[in-house]
Structure 1
Amino acid sequence: MTGTGADGRVERIRHVRQVRRYLVQIPYFVVLLGLLVAAVLVLFDRWRRGAFVFGSALLLGAVLRSLIPSSRAGLLQVRGRFFDVAAMAATGTLILWLATSIDPLGTD
């Protein structure tokens, strides 16, 4: 990547674009990691904690989607900003409410 002249600039631009493609997905991967942790908790019979982590991850996704510009939202961007934030926030809130309101029946 130490080219000179126009070829070097083109190579650097390609490299920067490639790195940007990965960096723009970091918020999505953070939310996805939360969802994976929730799935593991549910698999180990900790459904209440898993549901709480799942709802929290969705709320985090809603916050990130509302704060990050659309050009940098990556895969968090599905529809318009308002729809994305409203859908994730409503679903996350509902899951958190369910996780905290249902009697555990002897499980955690």
Structure 2
Amino acid sequence: MTSGGIEPRTERLRRARHLRAYLVQVPYLLVLLAGLVAAVLVLFDRWRRGAFVFGSALLLASLLRALIPTSRAGLLQVRGRFFDVVATAAVGATILWLATSIDPLGTD
């Protein structure tokens, strides 16, 4: 045993668990970052591009939720896998359709 009372192997396992707890959130952080980019675009009066990026972020979330195991889905997991994938894909596709189909009225 070490002077701290914790064996080195136990300490390594504890650090690995902490690291995994952060790494499992990386897909969610990617989607969150895309949402932030969309918000900045809307803030700078680029609402169509912002809506397009936001819809794409939701489709990315849907794809990641479909491909990543539930044990590693992190905050992308809200309900069951099927519901999460269908709901985010439907909303993302709707936003993309709206962003591309509405007349820009002189804006971008």
* Matched AA of 1:51: A
Give the aligned length: 105
Q: Please give the residue correspondences for 1:17-96 in structure 2 after superposition, counting only pairs within 5 Å.
A: 17-96=17-96
Do residues 101 (structure 1) and 94 (structure 2) align? Answer: no
User: Matched residues, percent identical?
Assistant: 75
Deviation at 1:105, TM superposition (A): 0.3
Flag structure 1 segments of 5+ consecutive residues without an equivalent: none
Distance in 2 (CA, whole Å) between partners of 1:66 and 1:14 is: 29
Deviation at 1:97, TM superposition (A): 0.2
Which string of whole-angstrom CA distances, capped at 9 and with x for unpartnered residues, describes residues 15-45 of structure 1?
Answer: 0000000000000000000000000000000
- The TM-score, its normalising length taken from structure 1, stands at 0.95
- The TM-score, its normalising length taken from structure 2, stands at 0.95
Flag structure 2 segments of 5+ consecutive residues without an equivalent: none
Other-structure match for 2:13: 13
* Matched AA of 2:29: F
Distance in 2 (CA, whole Å) between partners of 1:88 and 1:31 is: 12
